[in-house]
Amino acid sequence: MRILVTGAGGMLGQAVTREFQGRNHTVTALNHARLDITGLAAVKQALAEYTPEVIINCAAYTKVDQAETDYEAAVQVNALGVRNLALACKETGAVLVHISTDYVFDGQKNEPWNIYDARHPVNAYGRSKYLGERFLETIAPRYYLVRTSWLFGPGGPNFVETILKLAREKDTLTVVDDQWGCPTYTIDLARALVCLVESGCYGVYHITNQGATTWYRFAQEILAAAGVKTNIKPITTAGFPRPARRPAYSVLDPFPLKETIGYLLPPWQEALKRYFAERRNTDW
């Protein structure tokens, strides 16, 4: 298939580009400099020039705290940009794959969120992503809406690298231990996206590595996997105030992913070990 990847310079965009190329698809990878999805004319021109059958939208505004004071910028990319892609796909017949987030949910459940649970985002970033989902659902005739969470992988800033950097700089780390979610390795996510697109089964999906954890427990595993001996202490969300409120429990239920692509992603602990193995063997 002819695939166009937006946001191809980002952490997920790079992984998606590699995985689709590895499955012998024809991939056009456009970073922000080559395609700004906030401009409808530019989006339509790109589709006319490259004639993709499928667009994978990895372009996103991801600065959760900054979105509280820069909401318009978040909306431009996360909502208006999706609208532009959906409108262009409606004209050309292309399929749109849009990457969304666990942060569209309020975190008030104590069990995993399923694909059709009510969305009540608790911060500006989540609201901008929710608007993008609504544009996708109401405009695009054929789409995959893929929610994921807590991404880590090569080619971009992520929680793993942040923890390692802080461990080099500080004797003791304090990390929040009352926010639950699913860490997700971008390479595993990208591989699942290839399978999903090849399935032809449009709809809403939750794709994360298996297993739930907290940021504190995730950080513990990171330090252990890296062989770094640093003191680390758990704290509550209340003890670590941030501009943007976070959902307390945003674990995602993967149904019907296995029924569609035939498998679930590996446990996040196993994915983390592969991340470090590939990190050691590759010049990232």
Per residue, what are the HEC states of the chain? CEEEEECCCCHHHHHHHHHHHHCCCEEEEECCCCCCCCCHHHHHHHHHHHCCCEEEECCCCCCCCHHHCCHHHHHHHHHHHHHHHHHHHHHHCCEEEEEEEHHHCCCCCCCCECCCCCCCCCCHHHHHHHHHHHHHHHHCCCEEEEEECCEECCCCCCHHHHHHHHHHHCCEEEEECCCEECCEEHHHHHHHHHHHHHHCCCEEEECCCECCEEHHHHHHHHHHHHCCCCEEEEECHHHCCCCCCCCCECCECCCCHHHHHCCCCCEHHHHHHHHHHHHHHCCC
Catalytic residues: 125
β-pairing, 213-214 vs 180-181, is: antiparallel
Closest CA to 139 of 224, 194, 180, 79: 79
Helix 40-50 vs helix 81-92: angle between axes, to the nearest 10 degrees?
40
